[in-house]
Amino acid sequence: MEDEKQQLSSAVEAIKRKLPFHVLLLVGPPLAGKGTQAARLSAVLGIPAVSSGDLFRGEVAKGTELGKQMKAYMDRGELIPNELTTTFLTEKLAEAEFQNGFILDGYPRNPSHLTILEGILADLDRNILAALHFDIDKEILR
């Protein structure tokens, strides 16, 4: 048991050394546990976990011009267009809180979003360290 704890501790330290300027992605369907695991990883790794949905809802709540544009799409049940998403995430992820790495929950949602995210991260001198895909049986989520 002690040996397993030491191995886990060593693995966590190895990940921490790689985290500055890197991003961990958590992707999968709603209710798959991404937020739960993001919070746990955040606590262990000492980096912020951020949900793309929470970021978008926060911007809408602030009532900014960008938030108003996003709200119109959200109210119609549509995905926020790539152009708005790119603008918003570029500004948001440049904030000081995210300078030493972060965990991103819920984005990208499709391959075109991944290309956008890679461009945003490249502009911010960041890279994707790893992506964790939560593959949950849809029957279990009902």
More confident residue, 61 or 85: 61
CA atoms within 13 Å, Cβ hemisphere of 135: 2
- Of 21, 23, 28, whose CA–CA distance to 41 is shortest? 23
pLDDT of residue 118: 92
99-126: average pLDDT: 88
Superfamily for the 50-132 domain: P-loop containing nucleotide triphosphate hydrolases (3.40.50.300)
If one counts every other C-beta atom within 10 angstroms of the C-beta of residue 34, the result is 24
80-89: average pLDDT: 87
Give CA–CA dist 72/129, Å, rounded.
Answer: 34
Q: Where are the beta strands (DSSP E) in the chain?
A: 22-27, 49-51, 102-105, 127-133
pLDDT at 9 over 90: no
Q: In what order do the strands lie in the sheet with 22-27?
A: 49-51, 102-105, 22-27, 127-133
**Cut 0.75: pTM above it:** yes
- For helices 34-45 and 2-18, what crossing angle results, to 10°? 90
Query: Residues 49-84: pLDDT tens digits?
Result: 999 889 989 999 999 999 999 999 999 998 888 888
